[in-house]
């Protein structure tokens, strides 16, 4: 099963599989992943139904959604040769081994770390530095600042890994540029 929408999740899995699997090596990564086969489904709920109804199917859903809906998830072998279960802890281990560049854009491929889960991706937000309406800029800046402090405390309860402190500091520098 595949998600019919070409979004961050599909691009991330394409890049991860291409980096780890020679047969899927894609140079350069195409705008539309080449291995999209099978029934297409929209959003997270449609693939879930398709996966449950199709014997032997394999799907790729975000952890928060799969966990909340009690989906079986794959234990995968990582770069260190360890078989790792998908957990908040294993995702956090992965993020701790990834250096986030100054532009804050990174695809995590075959990460280091004995306890790192091999398929982890950041969720990105695209924002302007300057807003015509100062209230919008201030509100966004407040929300993003909250997400880097109080929001980090509740992230695991929502199925998301908290950001490493060095990443929080990098993002905070960018958030401080919003006005």
Using a pLDDT cut of 90, give the percent of the chain over it: 54
Chain-centre distance for alpha carbon 100: 14
- Highest-confidence range of 21-25, 38-42, 59-63, 114-118, by mean pLDDT? 114-118
Among residues 32, 127, 120, 126, which one has the least CA distance to residue 76?
120
pLDDT tens digits for range 35-65: 455 555 555 456 677 777 888 877 778 899 8
d(CA 2, CA 35): 10
CA quadruple 95, 113, 102, 60: dihedral, nearest 10: -50
pLDDT value of position 27: 53
Q: Are 133 and 179 in contact (CB under 8 A)?
A: no
Question: pLDDT band at 157, cuts 50/70/90?
Answer: very high
Residue 143 Cα distances to 14, 19, 54, 127, angstroms: 31, 35, 41, 12
2 sits in which H/E element: strand 2-3
Whole-model pTM? 0.78
pLDDT value of position 2: 42
d(CA 15, CA 165): 26
* Side-chain half-sphere CA neighbours of 34 within 13 A: 11
Q: Is 87 helix (H, G, I), strand (E, B) or coil?
A: coil
pLDDT value of position 39: 56
């Amino acid at each position: 099963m595949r998600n019919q929408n070409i979004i961050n999740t599909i691009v991330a899995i394409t890049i991860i599989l291409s980096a780890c699997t020679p047969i899927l090596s894609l140079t350069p990564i195409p705008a539309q992943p080449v291995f999209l086969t099978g029934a297409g489904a929209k959003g997270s709920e449609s693939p879930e139904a398709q996966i449950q109804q199709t014997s032997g199917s394999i799907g790729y859903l975000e952890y928060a959604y799969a966990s909340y809906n009690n989906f079986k998830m794959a234990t995968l072998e990582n770069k260190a040769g360890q078989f790792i279960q998908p957990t908040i802890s294993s995702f956090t281990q992965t993020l701790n081994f990834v250096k986030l560049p100054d532009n804050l854009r990174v695809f995590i491929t075959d990460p280091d770390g004995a306890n790192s889960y091999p398929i982890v991706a950041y969720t990105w937000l695209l924002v302007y530095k300057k807003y015509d309406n100062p209230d919008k800029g201030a509100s966004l800046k407040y929300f993003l600042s909250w997400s880097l402090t109080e929001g980090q405390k509740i992230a695991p309860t929502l199925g998301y890994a908290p950001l490493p402190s060095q990443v929080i500091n990098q993002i905070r520098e960018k958030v401080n540029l919003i006005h």
